[in-house]
Structure 1
Amino acid sequence: MKTLRLTLESFRFAWQALKSNLLRTVLSLLGVTVGIFAIIAVFAVVDSLESNVRKSMSFVGDKVIYVGKWPWAFGGEYPWWKYFNRPVPTVREFRELQKLLGPNNKGVAIFGAVGGSVLKSGSNSVSDCALQGVSFEYRKVSDVPIAEGRYFTSQEVDGARNVAIIGATIAENLYPNGSAIGQEFNARGRKFVVVGVMQKEGKKLLDTPSNDTNCLIPFGMFTKMFALNTGGMTGVTPTIAVKGSDDDPGLLDLEYELQGVMRNIRGLKPRQEDNFALNRPEMLANAISQLFSIIGVAGAVIGSFAMLVGGFGIANIMFVSVKERTNIIGIQKSLGAKNYFILFQFLFEAIFLCLIGGAAGIFLVYLITLVPQDSLPMFLSAGNIVLGLTVSVVIGVLAGIIPAVLASNLDPVIAIRSK
């Protein structure tokens, strides 16, 4: 109880000292405010960039392995012509994978896309759209957020019916005065009925495929409209995607099983190399994480210089404060004040200064996040707030500990005689 009372008394003395020298307090806060602002602003920008980039790459899905002809990342000195001569995935292989894969997968899908399509409905039209043919389980391997209507039924996909799920931009342009559900539009000389509208994504930082201008149709109908690549130079090359289960966090079991099944389907002998690529979004995610971790460290180092200047400013002010209040310290000690009471008094004052300055810097970063940005919306995470306040406390302790120790060790007789 006594310790708590002395601590509160130290807080009160520190607060009174700050209020009595308001102008000096404000000026000393500027260095810490700028330092914390620089550090937290860098981390906020890095977090926002990383979040936006990952959002832009969300179309590749999570816990998914893609079966393709080309690897996403070339390694070693593997000749490019070996990749070029590989066969492309086929619908037959997709059907075989559906039958032969075990419980390590949660769904197998095949899809293909063609860009630059024009969709028309009456006098309205929208250009540069992507027509994407998908199998029924496509929504298991990729994000298809339905805002209005529904997803395809298995009967619609198996029957290759003329139904479609369109993006928000397509719906806004084709049907500006009402709901798009149940409406018809023309694409490549065929009529389609809208059964679903996807949620609006808005602009992305990266120029990646967006659901806003995407039109999903059953894969069977897609193959009627476009010729599939069967290994030559022409036609649409389909992609096969396999969704992993939650019980296989590294997808290692699924990858080994998928590799064995694909080799069996293509009739490869034990000593023959794989003539297919198994690509995983983790390749991109790991590269993104490494890139932004480097950017974050570089930004923190740059911001720390501003924080260092602020810390020296606080230390200088604390030395001045000890010099000005030497007489008061002597009186306090002559009345029975302990050394730790004097120590806490000045240490709390330094921490107060840094906390107020840090809070001001964090508030400035928060104000920046309120500025509307279409391509890069910024946000201030709770982790960055805690980091800013923690750094402020640490700087306060480091900047105030030496002046506080000097004040606590003053001889009361000499201190009282000082002017």
Structure 2
Amino acid sequence: MLILRLILESFRFAWNALRMNLLRTVLSLLGVTIGIFAIIAVFTLVDSLEKNIKESFSFLGAGVIYVEKWPYTPDANGEYKWWDFMSRPNASYNEYKFLQANLKHQSGIAIFAVRSNITIKRKNNSISEVDLRGSSFGYSDIFEINITRGRYFTRTEVESGRNVVILGNNLGQNLFPNEDPVGKEVKMSGLKFMVIGVLKKEGESFLGTPSNDDTAIIPYNSFRKLYQTGTGAINEIGSSIGIKGYDADVGLVELENEITGLMRTRRGLKPREDDSFALNRPEAIANVIGGVFDVFGVAGWIIGGFSILVGGFGIANIMFVSVKERTNIIGIQKSLGAKNYFILFQFLFEAIFLSVIGGAAGLILVLLITFIPIGNLEVVLSLKNIVLGLGVSAGIGTVSGIIPAALAARLDPVIAIRSN
């Protein structure tokens, strides 16, 4: 009850200070408002950028390790030895079958290859610059395949290399504007393929990374009829073996070690020889992105820190004036039995309330930014940043109000009552 009484009374005094001296209080709180706005605006933009960029790489899958020829990132020394990577063999279909038979820590495995800029025809309609993707049966275990019409491949269709295709949403709409594509035929590289499914529309990502809207997916063995791949040769269209692990990061480490051992055995590498393959994880790209955005976060703290420092002095000034104006009231409260801690917390809570009001104003300004359209960037003020903004405001109020509150608590009641 005492705490509740303190909070209500402090809120009343803070509101009176804001109402009676509106201009002075607003100007004093402006530093906190600008500081919180600067910090939270930077964090909100950074978080939104990071989220949108990571979502742009969602086509790589989550919790997936790729066995490939080229690594995504440089080595520990910052070198990218492309001259060595160029001579590596591509991942082969036989290596995929070997890993599929021997891996114990995987929850899904697939081999796939991509050929860009192909043309798909349907009677008099044709679409160029299409990405043709050949994939094995487990492809749907690695990636999210949302089919709105039709179905996915059967195991028999994949293993036998049937000429069937799943079209991206844009391809289905443009090739078959007034009819259902399922069951109809399209032509690619001189061969006819029957459409068995159409994918859900994904839309354009923030970075314009590949989406399935302009992609055609066919069985991997059908893809091999059209293009040389899957043999492991250096100059063929490179295939990737995607292996999905379990959710726990420890499980992915175990999977990575298991893949390394099996691939080295399969390729007959000696103990001192370097790996002739790369194990790529999308998390590596995410870590690089996260490191870049950490720098922006530090910049936000520096920019906002100066404004908050000014705001803190403003709140301290308000509290010193408040103590001066209410010295007589403090003396009366003490003469009626109010303890020092009651007076201390009364003024301290008042400083916190004033600071939080300034911080809340800054958060409202950030919220207004989220309604401004910025291309494909979706800006969202997260609950984490709201709590951070209010927490920093409360902290500044505590630091700024502690000295005035302590002075008020230590006033002699007799002297305080006699003051004007």
Same fold, judged at TM 0.5 (above):
yes
Give the distance between the partners of 1:248 and 1:15, measured in 2 at CA. Answer: 51
Read off the aligned partner of 2:94 and give its amino acid letter.
Answer: R
> 2:30 aligns to what?
30
Instruction: Report the CA distance shift for 1:387/1:189 in structure 2 as closer, same or farther (over 3 A).
Output: same
> 2:287 aligns to what?
286
Number of residue pairs aligned between Structure 1 and Structure 2: 418
Give the distance between the partners of 1:27 and 1:123, measured in 2 at CA. Answer: 70
Residue 113 of structure 1 deviates from its aligned partner by 0.6
Determine helix, strand or coil for the equivalent of 1:44. Answer: helix
> 1:91 aligns to what?
93
Structure 1 residue ranges without an equivalent (≥5): none
> 2:316 aligns to what?
315
The one-character-per-residue Cα deviations of 1:202-251 (angstroms, maximum 9, x if unpaired) are 33232422222222111112111222275666431111222223467352
Contact 2:89 2:234 in 1 (8 A): no
Q: Does structure 1 residue 363 correspond to structure 2 residue 378?
A: no
> 1:275 aligns to what?
276
> 2:40 aligns to what?
40
Instruction: Report the CA distance shift for 1:10/1:268 in structure 2 as closer, same or farther (over 3 A).
Output: closer
Instruction: Report the CA distance shift for 1:20/1:175 in structure 2 as closer, same or farther (over 3 A).
Output: farther
Spell out the pairing of 1:12-161 with structure 2 (5 A cutoff): 12-75=12-75, 76=77, 80-99=82-101, 101-161=102-162
Give the distance between the partners of 1:34 and 1:17, measured in 2 at CA. Answer: 20
Give the distance between the partners of 1:78 and 1:385, measured in 2 at CA. Answer: 41
> 1:389 aligns to what?
390
Read off the aligned partner of 1:92 and give its amino acid letter.
Answer: N
Instruction: Report the CA distance shift for 1:299/1:78 in structure 2 as closer, same or farther (over 3 A).
Output: closer
Contact 2:245 2:251 in 1 (8 A): no
Read off the aligned partner of 1:89 and give its amino acid letter.
Answer: A
Contact 1:327 1:415 in 2 (8 A): yes
Residue 304 of structure 1 deviates from its aligned partner by 1.8
Read off the aligned partner of 2:93 and give its amino acid letter.
Answer: V
Bigger drift between 51-60 and 192-201 goes to 192-201
Determine helix, strand or coil for the equivalent of 1:293. Answer: helix
The one-character-per-residue Cα deviations of 1:139-188 (angstroms, maximum 9, x if unpaired) are 22233233443322212212322322222333343344455444443333
Structure 2 residue ranges without an equivalent (≥5): none
Give the distance between the partners of 1:226 and 1:38, measured in 2 at CA. Answer: 54
> 1:166 aligns to what?
167
* TM-score, with structure 2 as normaliser: 0.89
Give the distance between the partners of 1:234 and 1:178, measured in 2 at CA. Answer: 41
Spell out the pairing of 1:366-381 with structure 2 (5 A cutoff): 366-381=367-382
The one-character-per-residue Cα deviations of 1:77-130 (angstroms, maximum 9, x if unpaired) are 79654332222222222222222x232112221111111123343454433221
Read off the aligned partner of 1:393 and give its amino acid letter.
Answer: A
Instruction: Report the CA distance shift for 1:268/1:7 in structure 2 as closer, same or farther (over 3 A).
Output: closer
> 1:254 aligns to what?
255
Instruction: Report the CA distance shift for 1:24/1:106 in structure 2 as closer, same or farther (over 3 A).
Output: same
Give the distance between the partners of 2:272 and 2:13, measured in 1 at CA. Answer: 81
Residue 380 of structure 1 deviates from its aligned partner by 1.4
Contact 2:111 2:241 in 1 (8 A): yes
Instruction: Report the CA distance shift for 1:306/1:248 in structure 2 as closer, same or farther (over 3 A).
Output: closer
Bigger drift between 318-327 and 108-117 goes to 318-327
The one-character-per-residue Cα deviations of 1:325-349 (angstroms, maximum 9, x if unpaired) are 3333334334443333332232222
Give the distance between the partners of 2:147 and 2:374, measured in 1 at CA. Answer: 25
Read off the aligned partner of 2:416 and give its amino acid letter.
Answer: A
Give the distance between the partners of 1:235 and 1:331, measured in 2 at CA. Answer: 91
Give the distance between the partners of 1:102 and 1:165, measured in 2 at CA. Answer: 29
Q: Does structure 1 residue 9 correspond to structure 2 residue 9?
A: yes
Contact 2:137 2:158 in 1 (8 A): yes
